[in-house]
Structure formats: C-alpha cells, structure tokens
Amino acid sequence: MVALTRSREDLARAGAGLSRSRLRPPAQPSRRVQERGECRRRADPHGCASRALRRPDARGAACAAAIGCTDARGARRDRVRSRGDRRDGCRQVRRSGAMIDFSIPEETRLLVDTVRRFVETEVQPLEDVVEQTATVPADALAVTKAKAQKLGLYAMNMPADVGGGGLSCVEHCLVEEEFGRTSDALIRRVFGQVYPMLMACKGDQVERYLKPTVKGDKICAMAITEPGAGSDAASISTTAHLDGDEWVLNGTKHFISDGDIADYIILMALTDKDKRARGGITLFLVDRDTPGFKVARTQPMMGHRGYGHAELSFEDCRIPKAAVLGEVGGGFKLIMQSVLQIRLAHIGARAVGMAQRALEMMRKHAGERRQFGQLIGEFQMVQKLIADSATEIFGVKMMVMNAAWDIDQGKDARDKVSMIKVAASEMQGRVVDRAIQVFGGMGFSKDLPLERMYRDARVTRIYDGTSEIHRMLVARSTIKNGLQL
C-alpha cells in the first residue's frame, strides 16, 4: 500500500509543525491554471454555466458548444484515468463501479465557479453598506438582481418547468455553499427566497403566487412560529374557520423573516383543534393588503441585518375558500417535507460556505502576520485553530453531500438532516470564532466581515429547529432503529 506510506519528510513536517514555505500567502495560480480559467471565461464570457447549459434548446446548445475547451479537458481526464486503470488495480475496481465516485461533473463545476465568481465580485462588495444601513440599497440591488436573473441564478432551488434552476439536491447544495460566502439578506434579495412548498400551488395560484415568486416579482414569507408556539409548532393557536365561501383567520405570528415586506404570507393555522399535526393544520396564502391582516411590529435582531423579522396579526381576516395551499389538514406534513431541504441547503451547505470563507481569511492572515519575529502560522496554537476548522468543515461538507445524494435517490434523509442541522450550525460558530481569534483585535473590529459572520452564525442553532430539538430527534431515532447510514 505505497500510497498510504508517508514519506520521511511528511512525518518530520507533521512532528515539527508546518514548514515556512507552506505558510506563505496563497500562491498565484500556475500559468496552466490561469490559462484554463481564461479558456473557460473566453468560451463562457458571462459565466452562463447554469440553466443555459442544461436546457436542450438552441441557447443551451450554443453555450455547450462554446465550451469546447472543457470537453477537451474531459477527454484529457478520461485518457489519464484509463492510463491509471491499467497501472493500478485499485482504479480498476472504480472502473467496475464498485467504489464511490466523489468527482464533480464538469458542468456542475462550471456552475459552481460561476456562482462563486458572482458572489465574490457582485455581491460581497454590497455587504458593508447593508450592515451600515440595515437595508439592501434598492438601486444596487436592481442591477445585481437583474444580472443574477440573466445568468439563471435566481430561484435555483425550484424545478425548471416553473422557471427555476432545475438542479438536483447535490447541485443545489453546492450552489448554496457558495451563497454561504455572503450575508443572508443579500442571498434573499439577489438570489431569491422561494419556499419549496409553493410547488403545492394549484389552479390560479400558479400564476398568482408560484410563478411571480420564482421570477422575482413577488416576495413571500412563511409564518409558523407564534409567541406561544416555537419548537412545539403543532401547538399553534392561530385558527382558521370556514364561514360560507371564506376562511376567517385569527391569531399572531412572530419572528417572521421578510414578514414586513412580503407580498403574501404562507400562513400555518389550525383547522381542527383535535387533530392538530395529524390532519388539523392547514397552510393558507394570504395577500399583504387583506383587511384584518397587519404587520404589528418589526423585531430587531442581533444579526442578519438587511432584512426584517416581523410580528404579524390576523383579526377576523377573511380570505377566499380557494386560498388553501395544498390540502385542508395537510399543512403540517407539507411544511415538514419542505423544511427538510431548506435545513440541508440553508443551514448545512451555507454553513460550509461561511466557514470556508472564514478559514481562507485565517489561513491567509496566518501566512502574513508576524509577531515575535515569526509568522503567527508557525505557532502551534494558531495551527490548531486552523487544523480544527479545516477538519470540521470537511466533515460537515461530506455530511451535506451524503444527505443530498440520499434525497436525490428518493431516500428518507430526515435523521441525517437533523444531524447536519446540529453539526453544521455549531461548526460554523466555532470556525468563525477561531477566525476572530487568529485575527486578534482586527477580528473583533467592524473592518472585517468576521464580526458580522459571528453574529449571523448564532441564530442557525435556533431557527429551523433548535439544536436541542434536532438532538432529541436523532437520539429518539437512534435508540429505536440504531444509526442508519
């Protein structure tokens, strides 16, 4: 097992700490890598590697043809593989399909690169103004959102036949990882926050709610939590009762993200007090200007500046009988199905993206900052902060990819997603905290995005189910069924 034997040099390095050369700031990419990038950009000048590449229409075909250089890379890679296959018995096993292939297809890699470039060049520059003003400036947003839409980067979580990205769950998580490199307010406004349960729209609802939301013309909020019902969502007290051809809504929701600006609300209400989660909870689509509905107040938060969280009140609020989303009594199930992918992508994948950004910052700083006459990255205690972060990010990334793959195979990934919700949110907090430590006083200052990331990361242990609730679910399932991987 030659590949597993570490060279003497490697062992010495592991014992004595990293060599100086490995602590230098990230090197410029090699000429060959630069050329590959140029080739890619030349072929795909707008970075249009997403929907255009996926659609079997003329534009998609033209764009696919234009990236001939990537096909050439693919051919080269195949040649290298088959050479390796002949030499290496282990690779022959892979060829027969007995081993898992973790490689990312070229088309997906292009898409992810496009999103990363877009986030770095178009979105991250807006972060400071959002933090300072607590709003996403309308003029800059109009330009950036239009660019994202033109590239097919809006509502990427939704199926292609309703105008979304048409991505697999694995692809969607890879994209969300890149989104995680910027703030939630900007992700919402530039790339869209389209709740997957909108796929339950039927009849007129499709044109009135689903399509305009996917297109970016309407903003939607999802209202489940109440002052008296948080973790125990089935204990809500907001009610809906039928009166002739109308539902009458009464109750209060709070902490509702975008509740202050949403064009309409997906509201969870009780339609049968005895049945509750077992057929007594229904989802409704409530327009913003409906009499009886009002935004009672906005609720200032520790982080996530740039979008609001609101208390919403419903007092004898009358909506049409046809405003039910999905089936009467089917609301709890629909919410639970939808939040699975939201948790995986918005918490799991985004946590990996934010943590990677923090790790890149601390790695660079450790290779540049000198104290006591040497680079701080040569101090073993600083190395530990970096090593622990890299290790944890890798672990969570693999968990996210594994669960996403399960979902793509139609498998039940609920337990895994609960584990990921806990592991990702807690990893994210620890990594950003370590990054602040590596930067010292600079890490605590508002000159760097780390203090924002620190505040923003905190809530991921609370919303979409607290760490305690998800641990409870994992424990119950593991005690009952054992660990099902």
Ligand X SMILES: Cc1cc2nc3c(=O)[nH]c(=O)nc-3n(C[C@H](O)[C@H](O)[C@H](O)COP(=O)(O)OP(=O)(O)OC[C@H]3O[C@@H](n4cnc5c(N)ncnc54)[C@H](O)[C@@H]3O)c2cc1C
Contacts to ligand X by CB under 6 A? 222-225, 230-231, 255-257, 301, 304, 309, 459, 462-463, 466, 468-469, 472
47 vs 230, beta carbon nearer ligand X: 230
CB closer to ligand X, 223 vs 345: 223
* Residue 151 neighbours by CB under 8 Å, 6+ apart: 46, 47, 48, 50, 114, 118
Q: What's at 63, amino acid-wise?
A: C
Query: Is 51 or 309 the residue whose CB approaches ligand X more closely?
Result: 309
**Given the complex with ligand X, which of 152 and 196 has the nearer CB atom?**
196
Cβ of residue 459: shortest distance to ligand X, in angstroms? 5
- The span from the CA of 81 to the CA of 148, in Å, is 36
Shorter beta-carbon distance to ligand X: residue 54 or 309 = 309
Q: What are phi and psi of 136, to 5 degrees?
A: -90, 115
CB of residue 402 to ligand X, shortest distance in Å: 25
CB of 274 to ligand X, least distance (A): 22
Residue 4: count other Cβ atoms within 10 Å of its Cβ.
5
d(CA 170, CA 186) in angstroms, rounded, equals 22
What's the min distance (Å) between Cβ of 338 and ligand X?
12
What is the rounded CA–CA span in Å between residue 86 and residue 322? 64
Report which residue's Cβ sits closest to ligand X. 230
Picking from 374, 279, 294, 378, the residue whose alpha carbon sits closest to that of residue 331 is 279
* Euclidean distance between CA atoms 113 and 379, whole angstroms: 34
Residue 256 or 340 having the CB closest to ligand X: 256
Q: Least distance (Å) from ligand X to the CB of residue 251?
A: 12
> Smallest gap, in angstroms, from Cβ of residue 252 to ligand X?
12
241, 306 contact by CB (below 8 A):
no
Name the CA dihedral angle for 109, 182, 168, 390, rounded to a multiple of 10 degrees: 70
